[in-house]
Amino acid sequence: MSNEVFEYLAPPTQCQYLPEQTACNQYRVIFQISPDDFHQMLTRGWRRFGPTYFRPACTGCAACVSIRVPVNIFTPSKSQRRALHKCRNIHVEIGTPRVDKERLRLYVRWHAMREAERAWPESPITAPEYQMQFCFPHPCAREFRYFDGQKLVAVGYVDETPEALSSIYFFFDPDYKHFSLGVSSVLCEIAAARERGLKHVYLGYRVLGCPSMEYKAQFRPHELLQGRPVDNEAPVWEVGNIKN
């Protein structure tokens, strides 16, 4: 069961992925939800930050397409295997999300790197804001912690439903940029899903034309959601290919 507080459609704004486009998102605020109900939302293209759920509702563009990887038939490419090899000495722990000074410092350093490299806007974050965004109490919330020895070098936030894992957010120590931790984190989540007997890993939205989002299509085979199905409509996922 879910306890939805309200739903709203945000006003159009400049798209953060494709600046020449106008973006519009549909939002729901839900403070209590069952893992089964949340999984049904995932299959229809919804994402989550804290108690806020969202998905694109743009009228002039359909570039944001939900993408998921079927874990039992996924095979890493040569470059993905090389990325994983770079991280052979990095070990992973999975636990409950939490906020502390170490995580805040890591996030701030990572975001500063993105600001310099990709002209991202500054995004200062307080401990309460971090708590609400990444550590809001949720039955599906998991934290993937990546360590080099005793040093925390990356953090990934992931939801786990009865049938899937869903990537939420990932950041890492800029000193480990050459380790290809972003690619390795997806491979780690796929391996974790396989160990748990789950069917898919949801990677969010693939956005062709946006390098920071279209890379997700490199995880093959993958499936793409067709359209934006409503709650009582059966979602249709089709196998993607090189061209899409």
Assign residue 138 the CATH number of its domain.
3.40.630.30
58 located within any domain: no
Q: What is the extent of the structural domain holding 187?
A: 65-244
28 located within any domain: no
**3-class state of residue 74 by DSSP:** coil
117 located within any domain: yes
Task: Tally the domains of the chain.
Answer: 1
124 located within any domain: yes
The enclosing H or E element of 145 equals: strand 141-148
- Please give the full DSSP string across 111-133, using - where no structure is assigned: HHHHHHHH-PPP----HHHHHHH
**Which class for 209: exposed (0-12), middle (13-18), buried (19 or more C-beta within 10 A)?**
exposed
Q: For the segment 13-29, what is each residue's pLDDT rounded down to a tens digit?
A: 999 899 999 999 999 99
Q: Flag whether pLDDT at 136 surpasses 80.
A: yes
- The predicted model gives 95-112 an average pLDDT of 96
105 located within any domain: yes
130 located within any domain: yes
- The predicted model gives 62-82 an average pLDDT of 96
34 located within any domain: no
**Which class for 75: exposed (0-12), middle (13-18), buried (19 or more C-beta within 10 A)?**
exposed
**Which class for 37: exposed (0-12), middle (13-18), buried (19 or more C-beta within 10 A)?**
middle
Kindly report the average pLDDT of the chain as a whole number: 93
Dihedral sign from CA coordinates of 8, 210, 49, 107: negative
Report the range of poorest mean pLDDT among 33-47, 70-84, 147-161, 202-216: 202-216
- The predicted model gives 236-242 an average pLDDT of 83
Q: Which two tokens stand for residue 154?
A: 């990356």
6 located within any domain: no
Is the bond preceding residue 11 a cis peptide, omega within 30 degrees?
A: no
Q: Which two tokens stand for residue 240?
A: 């993607």
Q: What is the reported pTM?
A: 0.94
